[in-house]
Amino acid sequence: ILYDYYLKHLVNSIETPDSSQIEKYYIENRDQKYLEPKRVLVRQIKVEVKEEADSLLVLLEKSPHLFESFVASSSINSGKNLGLMEPFKSGQYNFLGERAFDMSVGDVSGIIENLDKTFSIIKLEEVYPEKALPLKTVYKRIESLLIKEGQESIKSETFNKYLKSSKLFISDEYKKYIN
């Protein structure tokens, strides 16, 4: 009971890391842990019938500048954003997402069959490159991580110090539980 109380006291006595420690950790780990992946922004024409997608694609091959007007007039997802999707990272939106990451800005895709049995044609509007998240965005996360690491370190050191004490006697029946 005393040991548990003492250990709890030590763990709770960990000081909050100062900003220089957090900044140092951020700089050392930014490229491994705090990168926002490459993302793409696409505009989508989505229709329910493949023949309609075929017709639109033929027209777009002749006049790609009509993409937005086709979204407004033909797409089931036209809405106020004219088919503009939220930026997304690789691995999202199945076939549509895979195709978007193979395109260049301004390109119009072929017909993409979606999992919900609809058909899409997309235009790549913008590519957002991989970039580091700002320190202010991950500051609290790093602070919590450093506190937890400090607590784990104290637990480990205290327990190991306790076990290595020459005054501690452990009977043979309990030695199998200690490494």
51-88 pLDDT per residue, tens:
999 999 999 999 999 999 999 999 998 777 889 999 99
Cβ atoms within 10 A of the Cβ of 131, count?
Answer: 12
Q: What is the pLDDT of residues 144-168, one digit of tens each?
A: 999 999 888 887 777 777 667 777 7
Q: How open is the CA angle 141-146-149, to the nearest 5 degrees?
A: 125
Residue 174: band (very low, low, confident or very high) from pLDDT cuts 50, 70, 90: low
- Tell which residue, 75, 67, 78, has the closest CA to residue 46: 75
Say if CB 149 and CB 141 are below 8 A apart: no
The distance of Cα 97 from the centroid of its chain, to the nearest Å, equals 15
User: What is the rounded (10 degree) CA torsion for 73, 77, 79, 82?
Assistant: -70
Whole-number pLDDT of residue 178: 64
pLDDT of residue 155: 79
Lowest mean pLDDT of 99-103, 136-140, 165-169, name the range: 165-169
Comparing 13-17, 41-45, 102-106, 153-157, the range with the smallest average pLDDT is 153-157
Cα–Cα distance measured from residue 121 to residue 111, given in angstroms and rounded to the nearest whole number: 5
Residue 137 φ then ψ, to 5°: -75, -35
Q: What's the rounded mean pLDDT across residues 103-132?
A: 95
Long-range CB pairs of 169-177 (<8 Å, 24+ gap) are none
pLDDT at res. 177? 64
pTM: 0.68
Question: Looking at the predicted structure, is the pLDDT value of residue 9 above 90?
Answer: no
Residue 45 has pLDDT above 60, yes or no: yes
pLDDT above 60: residue 179: no
Q: What is the mean pLDDT of residues 38-57?
A: 96
CB neighbour list of residue 109: distance below 8 Å, 6 or more residues apart: 99, 100, 103, 120, 121, 122, 123, 124
